[in-house]
Amino acid sequence: MFELKNIDLHYGKSQILYNISLTAKIGNVTAIVGSNGVGKTSLLRVLSGTHQASSGSYVANNKNVLNHSSHFMAMNGIAYVPQGREIFPLLTVLENLETGFACIPKEEQVIPSYIFEMFPVLKKMLSRRGGDLSGGQQQQLAIARALVTKPKLLLLDEPTEGIQPNIIQEIGEVIKELRRSGNMAIILVEQYFDFAFDLSNFIYAMKRGEILISGRTDSVEKNAFKDAVSI
């Protein structure tokens, strides 16, 4: 289980996150929904170690890892798929995948076969440069690269952004399969509300840097969450 408690975040004198607490469990998808600018990406950056929180605690693997480096987080099983994908455009698909080796022991530096089962298009494109792939293919590559690190917590920031509908459906099926495997916790940040709600076990609605409401998706009123995050 991964647990955040009372997280505040400032950029200079501006406060971005206010007293954020949430839990992500292994074998579950935890969705964070809200409109642009409410702090969802900032929260994932705290979780991935790329931003430092002002206060609070972040427990992973039974220890407080708040404000450790992103490299430390990656070595401790936390993988981040950022908004915009950030693959290496001049590296081949294979080379992009192999960049995930940087945070795992040398004896484990192999690309798991299940990655190509989930993303068969990547197997056909191993020698192509990342920048030559479509947006949807780049998103699949970014998720696959994160999975190479064998994470216990997978952070997905807007994986449907700018993606064609058929690829959105494929990414949804991958998330379902990862949830079924029971090997990791997944935190999914999304503006596409129905996609996030239908995939998740727990959901948190954010507005202006705060969590307004939260609950299990099998026991909450879906429209109440939609109303909470509407502009």
Distance, CA of 6 to CA of 58 (rounded, Å): 9
Number of H helices, E strands in the chain: 9, 10
pLDDT at position 40: 94
- Least Cα distance to 30 among 16, 17, 47, 52 occurs for 47
Handedness of CA 147, 149, 152, 157 (dihedral sign): negative
User: Crossing angle, helix 165-181 and helix 135-148, to 10 degrees?
Assistant: 10
pTM for this predicted structure:
0.94
Concatenate the DSSP letters of all residues of 167-193 into one string.
HHHHHHHHHHHHHHHTS-EEEEEES-H
Q: Quick one: residue 62, left, alpha or beta (phi over 0 = left, psi -120 to 50 = alpha)?
A: left
Dig out the tokens for 85 from the structure: 């994908």
Residue 39 per-residue DSSP state: S
Distance, CA of 9 to CA of 100 (rounded, Å): 28
Contact (Cβ atoms closer than 8 angstroms) between residue 159 and residue 81: yes
Cβ neighbours, 10 Å, residue 61: 12
Contact (Cβ atoms closer than 8 angstroms) between residue 173 and residue 204: no
Virtual torsion, Cα 151, 157, 163, 169, nearest 10 deg: 60
Sheet holding 210-216, edge to edge: 78-81, 153-157, 185-190, 29-33, 202-207, 210-216
Mean pLDDT by 10 residues, the chain (231 residues): 96 95 97 91 96 96 92 94 91 96 92 93 95 94 96 95 90 95 95 92 94 93 83 52
Distance, CA of 42 to CA of 189 (rounded, Å): 11
Contact (Cβ atoms closer than 8 angstroms) between residue 35 and residue 22: no
What domains can you pick out in the chain, each with its CATH number? 2-229 (3.40.50.300)
